[in-house]
Amino acid sequence: MPPPVAPSSHTLVPGKSAVPLLKPQLLLLSHDRGPHHLHLPAGVFCMLLRTLTAALLLLPNAALAQSDSAPPAARWPLRNSPANALQPSAPVVLRGKATVTDHADFPGSGSWIEVPASHTPDLGTADFTITAKVCCPPNDGPSGDIISQYDPATRRGFHLTLKTAAGVTSSQASLRQLHFGIDDNRLSPWLDHGRPGNALLGFAMAAHNNTLFVGTCEPDAGQAGHVYRLDAGGQWIDCGAPDQSNSVTAMAELADQLYVGTGKYRVAGSSLPESPNTSPGGRVFRRIADGRWEDCGQLPGVEAIGGLAVFQGHLHASSLYKPAGFFRLEKNGTWTTLPVPQATAPAPGTSPDRRVEAMTVWEGALYAGSYDGGSVYRWDGNSWTDLGTLGDNTQTYSFAQYDGQLYVGTWPSGRVYRFAGPNQWVDCGRLGEELEVMGMLVHNGRLLAGTLPLAEMYQYEGTVSWQKLTQLDRTPDVKYRRAWTLAELHGRLYCSTLPSGHIWSVQAGASVQHHAAFPDGWHDIAAVRTGRQLLLYIDGKQVATASIPADSPIDLHSTAPLRIGAGMNGSLNGRLRDLRIYQRALTVTELQPVQ
């Protein structure tokens, strides 16, 4: 027979419910004599109370107010053990430098927790929810998959990601944006979104504040480069011309603000008649509103901005044309001129300075391509390291981070190379018969790349194999057509073209993205598949939604291992706690954080 419950003492407070008074006594329950009270000195009682409180605080606490009536199918508390709390004896492997203390820590590429598919929930075509607590350090990181289960051979699986796409030619197309994608080898037809303004090409693209922004080259007399945004109705809205030069050449987001660089693009470099607009660019602007731009300064000796990227919390910019230039925007709004890479053996009578163009951040350093000699350089914040020349190429044009590795596009071989260490570059194959690999980006698990001279789009098949998807620009009687740069918005991949100036898009599987930089510190996140919708939540607030195509269900049954902290978008470089998978769609109420 259970022991009786002792009556409690309460004091009624006006306007309040009954509140128990704590007295310096300890209630003891005995099976044979029932409840009785042990009177203690106040100091001893307070010490016991503090001890009890501390013990309660050590208990694992749920990240979200989820219902106990429908427990998760899998839960990794990630406190002192990588094990699934619901299957503590199930196999799990710590890869690379991943560690688990009071949280899981993933310090970079090659670090993750791996769980065999046989010990993970079979998600199939049904509803499900993923929840976790994620910690972002300040400045640039992290970027990579929080959790993924994806087979690149069958193109089936899911990803929950914090994604940065930098070095997509001259722009940083996204910065630490929350992304949730599913796929079952589905690829939509390509959609033509028309030509923004009088664009010869969309030189720069970025997703910012849930909007796609495009910077154009408009080279004719009386024209200038503009910024346009794509509205919800599919129309291009003119955001104005920041200056009088013929191009907006680069974009990047910093501290929730959109920055653009301008330039006088030498159109003859694409074997087209030179632009009559001789106004120089080389300035950086910050967007205030449509048609309003704040001038952030002229970079000394720069005719056109070659690239923009965020590194160590600062915006960095480079010069497209000679002389080489590399600059950092300081917190007080001034620009600092930084060193540029040096050639080890420059030709007699030539400058040893090497231009840096496309820039990306990987493994805690800034990596830059160059139009001077076909090398890649690494900047640690103080000095440059030459990482070697890629084959017989003279230009390194673009970057992508795919499955935890760094890939680089080149001219004139039309090949992609993978970085395997200083002066170690692995040839990953040529894209058809093309000469230049332009924008590259990982879209819902697939590495896609655009090319010159036929403006074709390719999909990486592994090792040295690439599959041609389409040709986007068929302008007749020109030498070069370019599939120039790439960006993602609301689950679609966008690509700009030259010389038609049209913007195209395609969709792999289904995905939803929150196009704003994920905040620093610890936050609750949730990704939900419910019916034909995908939903994203941050701290209990729904931040994004997308529809799943209605042609047929996307089946996520997979034999691929589940990876925590890594996937096709790269390694997380961040921290995780209390990761859960539910085989149902949690409600908004259940997803509210515990206060």
How far apart (Å, rounded) are the C-alpha atoms in residues 174 and 515? 8
Residue 384's H or E segment, with its range, is strand 384-389
Domain assignment present for 2 = no
Q: Tokens 């935890």 identify what position?
A: 404
DSSP state of 304: B
If one counts every other C-beta atom within 10 angstroms of the C-beta of residue 196, the result is 26
Whether the CB-CB separation of 25 and 8 falls below 8 Å is answered with: no
Q: Same structural domain for residues 500 and 518?
A: no
- Write down the pLDDT at residue 41: 52
- Write down the pLDDT at residue 88: 94
Domain assignment present for 454 = yes
- Write down the pLDDT at residue 593: 77
- Write down the pLDDT at residue 139: 64
Query: In the structure encoding, which two tokens stand for residue 503, read together?
Result: 């913007």
Domain assignment present for 235 = yes
Expressed as residue numbers, the domain containing 94 is 74-163+514-582
Q: Same structural domain for residues 521 and 501?
A: no
Q: Same structural domain for residues 508 and 525?
A: no
How far apart (Å, rounded) are the C-alpha atoms in residues 493 and 46? 61
Domain assignment present for 505 = yes
Q: Same structural domain for residues 269 and 244?
A: yes
Looking at residue 119, which CATH number applies to its domain?
Answer: 2.60.120.200
Query: In the structure encoding, which two tokens stand for residue 454, read together?
Result: 């036929």
- Write down the pLDDT at residue 140: 61
Q: Same structural domain for residues 16 and 147?
A: no
- Write down the pLDDT at residue 346: 83
* pTM of the predicted structure, to 2 decimals: 0.89
Domain assignment present for 180 = no
Question: Alpha-carbon dihedral of residues 4, 7, 8, 12, nearest 10 degrees?
Answer: 150
Nearest one of 312, 309, 343, 313 to 326, comparing CA atoms: 309
- Three-state DSSP state, 516: coil
Q: Same structural domain for residues 567 and 440?
A: no
Q: Same structural domain for residues 24 and 129?
A: no
Looking at residue 338, which CATH number applies to its domain?
Answer: 2.120.10.80
Domain assignment present for 173 = no
Compute CA distances 39 → 20, 42, 44, whole Å: 17, 9, 10
Q: How many domains does the chain have?
A: 3
Extract the residue ranges of the chain whose pLDDT is less than 70: 1-69, 139-142, 594-595
Question: CA angle, 307 as apex, 262 and 402 as ends, to 5°?
Answer: 140
Q: Same structural domain for residues 442 and 497?
A: yes
Q: Same structural domain for residues 287 and 141?
A: no
Q: Same structural domain for residues 211 and 325?
A: yes
Domain assignment present for 306 = yes
How far apart (Å, rounded) are the C-alpha atoms in residues 95 and 93? 6
Q: Same structural domain for residues 494 and 523?
A: no
Q: Same structural domain for residues 508 and 537?
A: no
Question: What count of Cα atoms within 13 Å lies in the side-chain half-sphere of residue 555?
Answer: 5
Domain assignment present for 67 = no
Tell me which of 468, 489, 512 is where a domain ends.
512
